[in-house]
Structure 1
Amino acid sequence: MTSARSGAEGVKTYLRELLRQCRARICPTEPASHGPARRRPGISQEHTAVLLGCSTRWYATLESGRMQNPTTEFLESVAKVLRMNHQERQALFLYALGQLPPLTSGFGTTPHPDWNAFVERQRQPACIYSRTWDLVAANADYLDLLFGNAQGGVAGLPERNVLRWVLLNDEVRTTLVNWRTDWALPMLSELRAAIATSPECQALMALLHGLLIDPVVRELWNGGSSPRTHPDGMNRVIRHPRRGDVEFTILAASLMHPRDLRFVTLITSE
């Protein structure tokens, strides 16, 4: 019990220090309206509360760690007002709410530049794509295997969205072995899961509407779904024009930042 209590008190301390540090680096744009000038750097709790549109007591409740289950909207406002970067925003949610913040494009969708080099150096086909299946990076092996052309890199592809390429291209439907059961249905189930996670994401809804224009995809979508929510561990086969049938296992993992990017590698038996 003592250790649990000390752990909870530690979290309150971390939250208080985080908010104080973020307040301290912001230069006040207005002089104090009453009382002596502020001696500490940054903005006060009172100034912060004004920027948030709440009472000083309400904000102080958060900073002291006494606020029970603050809303996501309030924490997002705090992160914005205190100009938090993605690491600080994640820490705010973890300390105040005990969970990571929701995915948002407001904190960037570009991975660290070294991720591109990491993907290029993989000995197996590898890529990074967004939660809307838009390719961000890919090595030559991945582009050759899935798209049949590695020239020009990702920027030279006729279609950079993996989901649209797999589901809407008639030629691809013949090269992906068991296209309906092993590719289309599982990927549509992953799309359902993504929409369930982020129902407000307009990009996901636009992707879905574009896919449902195709009658075959629309039939599959309306026919039900499987519990598949991610591709990790799936075994698949691509009928490559030069290499023949290429069997592989998909390994997938989410990046820590941005969290809506996914690293995927295809472990082939070649």
Structure 2
Amino acid sequence: MGDEPHNAARPDSEGLSYLLRHWRERLDPTRIRGIDSSRRRLKPGLTQQEVAQLTNVSLAWYRELERGKHRRFDEQFLRRLAQVLRLDEAERAVLFRLAAGYAPLPGNSSSGAAMDQSMHVVLDQMAPHPAYVSNLWWDIVAHNQPVGDWFPQVLEQPNLMRFVFLHPEARRQLLNWRRDWAAPSLAQIRYASAIHPDCEELVQLRDDILMGNAEAREMWRANQTRAHSDGDRRFLRLPYHGGQEVCVRITAFAPLINQDLRFVILLRL
């Protein structure tokens, strides 16, 4: 009831129509007010008709939206749609970026790697905790000495995401690799790619990882989005320190001078 024909054109797997369908079908009708959850359903989640009803648009209008027809989207409608679909902050930003061409987030959009000397001083002050600065596409642009002590192989391949997915040492060093490292990393790549769709380096990074790692291709289909890893607790094995296992809390922030840079500290717990 209310869904588009089964033989409709298959949406682009990176596009708005695909994500709208994914977000709609993951909802639990029993938890949505104003929806008849007792009737038999042929597909999981809400129907297009129900989403149209909850967002105060016609069924025909919403069908065209899921088919990817370009429109001038009102910000109030997009916020209402995000609320109906129960989108988190990262997913809401992706919705705005794909539908309206911008994300409702503050910050400097410059993607350069410019840093002043004071940042290097701060990095050195973080010792003995490893600390580094990465750019929009996760190249390490500065680091302190403990990073080299803990991760000498990362400095051979100074891109964090390529290390996680394409370096043979990653699975041995990054404990609980799939759950704690790979899945959150892919979610961050999807988020960054949606917020910065014209960044060729991000597109190339995503393509290299998906082409080079079959498990990453499988996880990518989960359609997860995540803005950052700040506050995560993760476990590492240090092969250059006798295989010692350590727990770290990721502390991350963006300098105001360039909010596309990531200043990350691995606080050893």
TM-score range, shorter chain: 0.5 to 0.7
Q: Distance in 1 between matches of 2:259 and 2:249?
A: 23
Aligned match of 2:173: 175
Aligned match of 1:240: 238
Q: Distance in 2 between matches of 1:175 and 1:267?
A: 17
Q: Distance in 1 between matches of 2:236 and 2:106?
A: 37
Aligned match of 2:145: 140
Aligned match of 1:228: 226
Q: Give me the CA root mean square deviation.
A: 2.1
Q: Distance in 2 between matches of 1:202 and 1:232?
A: 25
Sort the Cα spacing of 1:100 and 1:268 in 2 relative to 1 into closer, same or farther, 3 A. Answer: closer
Q: Distance in 2 between matches of 1:232 and 1:102?
A: 19
Q: Distance in 1 between matches of 2:132 and 2:139?
A: 10
**SS of the residue aligned with 1:118?**
helix
1:218 aligns with 2:222: no
TM-score, reference length from structure 1: 0.56
Sort the Cα spacing of 1:267 and 1:99 in 2 relative to 1 into closer, same or farther, 3 A. Answer: closer
Q: Distance in 1 between matches of 2:165 and 2:248?
A: 19
TM-score, reference length from structure 2: 0.56
1:31-50 paired onto structure 2 within 5 Å? none
**SS of the residue aligned with 1:127?**
strand
**SS of the residue aligned with 1:212?**
helix
Q: Would the aligned equivalents of 2:255 and 2:262 in 1 still touch at CA under 8 Å?
A: yes
Sort the Cα spacing of 1:102 and 1:162 in 2 relative to 1 into closer, same or farther, 3 A. Answer: same
Q: Distance in 2 between matches of 1:254 and 1:99?
A: 13
Sort the Cα spacing of 1:100 and 1:226 in 2 relative to 1 into closer, same or farther, 3 A. Answer: closer
Aligned match of 2:109: 103
Q: Distance in 2 between matches of 1:136 and 1:179?
A: 24
Give the unaligned 5+ runs of structure 1.
1-97
1:1-12 paired onto structure 2 within 5 Å? none
1:121-270 paired onto structure 2 within 5 Å? 121-123=125-127, 124-145=129-150, 147-148=151-152, 157-214=155-212, 215-222=214-221, 224-241=222-239, 242=241, 244-269=244-269
Q: Distance in 2 between matches of 1:195 and 1:207?
A: 10
CA deviation profile, 1:130-162 (whole Å, cap 9, x unmatched): 0100101111212322x246xxxx9xx321111
CA deviation profile, 1:215-269 (whole Å, cap 9, x unmatched): 22222223x1434321100000111122510111000001111221010001102
Give the aligned residue type for 2:121.
Answer: A
Aligned match of 1:52: none
**SS of the residue aligned with 2:169?**
helix
Q: Distance in 2 between matches of 1:228 and 1:251?
A: 15
Q: Would the aligned equivalents of 1:185 and 1:225 in 2 still touch at CA under 8 Å?
A: no
Give the aligned residue type for 1:142.
Answer: V
Relative contact order higher in (CA < 8 Å, ≥ 6 apart): 2
1:112 aligns with 2:104: no
Give the unaligned 5+ runs of structure 2.
1-103
Which protein shows a greater Rg? Answer: 1
Q: Would the aligned equivalents of 1:188 and 1:225 in 2 still touch at CA under 8 Å?
A: no
Segments of 4+ in structure 1 off by > 4 A? 98-102
Residues matched between the structures, number? 162
Sort the Cα spacing of 1:227 and 1:195 in 2 relative to 1 into closer, same or farther, 3 A. Answer: closer
Q: Would the aligned equivalents of 2:134 and 2:142 in 1 still touch at CA under 8 Å?
A: yes
Identity over aligned residues, as a percent? 34
Q: Would the aligned equivalents of 1:238 and 1:247 in 2 still touch at CA under 8 Å?
A: yes
Q: Distance in 1 between matches of 2:216 and 2:194?
A: 19
Give the aligned residue type for 1:103.
Answer: S
Sort the Cα spacing of 1:100 and 1:141 in 2 relative to 1 into closer, same or farther, 3 A. Answer: same
